[in-house]
Amino acid sequence: MKNKRLNRDGWGFSYYPYYQMRIEDELFHGTACLTKLTDGEDNYWETPKAGRVQVTGAGMSWLELVSDICWNR
């Protein structure tokens, strides 16, 4: 069984407000999670075409949607 967590506690931020809610709509069934990053290190992804792209850092927010199909795998 896979463990799926949305709170991003391993990203190196000491304080990050985390909000999660269930969405039941005709277009989407699943969970939405919003994590606000308040401090900590800036993290980057290296991509071949775009180069170095910042994905997390102070003042940013991370929104993730996970459909029921993903949870049931």
pLDDT digits (tens, 9 = 90+) for 11-41: 666 777 888 999 999 999 999 989 888 887 7
The whole-number pLDDT of residue 41 equals 76
Q: Is residue 54 part of a domain?
A: yes
Q: What domain range includes position 25?
A: 18-71
Ramachandran category for residue 71: left, alpha or beta (phi over 0 → left; psi -120 to 50 → alpha): alpha
The whole-number pLDDT of residue 56 equals 81
And the tokens for 33? 């999670």
Q: Is residue 22 part of a domain?
A: yes
Decide if pLDDT at 73 tops 60: no
Q: Is residue 36 part of a domain?
A: yes
Max distance between CA atoms of the chain, in angstroms, equals: 39
Q: Is residue 9 part of a domain?
A: no
Whether the full predicted model's pTM is greater than 0.85, yes or no, is no
The whole-number pLDDT of residue 1 equals 46
Decide if pLDDT at 72 tops 60: no
The whole-number pLDDT of residue 24 equals 95
Beta-carbon contacts of 67 under 8 Å, excluding residues fewer than 6 positions away, are 28, 29, 30
Q: Is residue 4 part of a domain?
A: no
> What residues form DSSP beta bridges with 7?
none
